[in-house]
Amino acid sequence: MRSLNETPADPALASAKPSPWRKGDARPLLSLVVPFYNEADVVEVFFGQVIPELERIADIRFEVLCVNDGSADATLDKLVAIAQQDPRVRVVDLTRNFGKEAALSAAIDEARGDLIVPFDADLQDPPSVIAALVEKWREGYDVVLARRRNRDADSALKKLTARWFYRMHNAVADLQIPENVGDFRLFTREVGEALKRLPECRRFMKGLFAWVGFRTAVVEYARAPRAAGESKFSGWKLWNFAVEGFTSFSTLPLRVWTYVGVAVAFFALCRAAWLVLRTLLYGVDVPGYASLATAILLLGGIQLIGIGVLGEYVGRIYLESKKRPVYLIRRRYEQRAANA
């Protein structure tokens, strides 16, 4: 069995590490970067489908960079076993579960390729589409998006909420996110370096991909069901993900409360003028307390909602001010250069 080079955590960027491929090979290197979290059931199926598809792409070298995002099952052991057999597979093990956005950031930082393709381990995105992305890149594009032609593999509720998210986000944010486009895409090393320059630790990668810009094309495809296992995104996690997207690229949720306050104040002035006029015309009566209690509860609820929205942004400022790293690496696994 070939030995692995187990490298302890190193803050240096991946670009500073030597490439395991022979020098003088002019073919571009494609880095397929894949976060894994408790995906032990799908590891063998994943490599059984992905490696042959990558080998079919002409005039391209490739590496598969796997980021183990603190898996609690046998995911890491299986990834390391495959890396022992194939020098084109590298494994980066994070110290704990940092979340998909952080794991994807780690994968982009560690990638050595001239082309970088983020990919999901569940194989809902067909590996055969990668060749189409490469062909589109050959036409001169810096970014090639993979857009889902349909979401038949998703439940009716997930399709509905996804449609709402994209439409609401693009309505309130200055930055437009392409609808039905996930993390699956191809981009050049230049785009990857631009992403590395973005300093925020709370990262909404769909928005960051759109923010950097560059010349972009689109390839459409049909999404498949998961190859194995279950989705790690619960309804609550998806809700928090959506909130992250809104607060990362729009201040409209803050500004809207100015307009709500103006509308409530205007209504209060109109109500006060009506009470004065009614008192002058009809005298003073003794009203009940139901309307008063309703008004107090309504205004109190509006104020609490406004404070909650403000709290979301203050919380982001608080976390960003700590300047903690997005992720920490425990160990890297790859074959020694002599075995490559």
If we measure between CA atoms, which residue out of 66, 9, 63, 77 comes closest to residue 31? 63
Residue 309 buriedness (CB in 10 A; 0-12 / 13-18 / 19+): middle
Biggest alpha carbon distance in the chain? 98
Positions of E strands within the chain: 4-8, 29-36, 61-68, 89-94, 115-118, 143-148, 181-188, 216-221, 329-335
pLDDT, position 297: 67
pLDDT in tens, 228-273: 555 555 555 555 656 665 566 666 677 777 777 777 777 777 777 7
User: Alpha carbon 335 to chain centroid distance?
Assistant: 30
> Which of 16 and 205 is assigned the larger pLDDT?
205
Sign of CA dihedral 35, 39, 42, 47: positive
Domains and CATH numbers, the chain: 4-232+326-339 (3.90.550.10), 252-322 (no CATH)
Calculate the average pLDDT of the chain: 75
Strand, coil or helix: 9:
coil
Residue 34 contacts residue 64 (beta carbons within 8 Å) = yes
**pLDDT attached to residue 84:** 87
The total of other beta-carbon atoms located within 10 Å of residue 202's CB is: 15
pLDDT value at position 65?
Answer: 92
* Residues linked to residue 217 through DSSP beta bridges, in sequence order: 144
Residue with tokens 């809207």, as numbered in its chain: 256
The C-alpha atoms of residue 8 and residue 6 are separated, in whole angstroms, by 7
Q: How sure is the predictor about 165, in pLDDT bands with cuts at 50, 70 and 90?
A: low
Give yes or no for a contact between 34 and 66, defined as CB atoms under 8 angstroms apart: yes
Residues 148 and 179 sit within 8 Å (Cβ to Cβ): no
Q: How far apart are CA 241 and CA 238, in angstroms?
A: 5
pLDDT of amino acid 338: 36
Give the chain's radius of gyration (CA, Å).
26
Token pair in block for residue 298? 């309504």
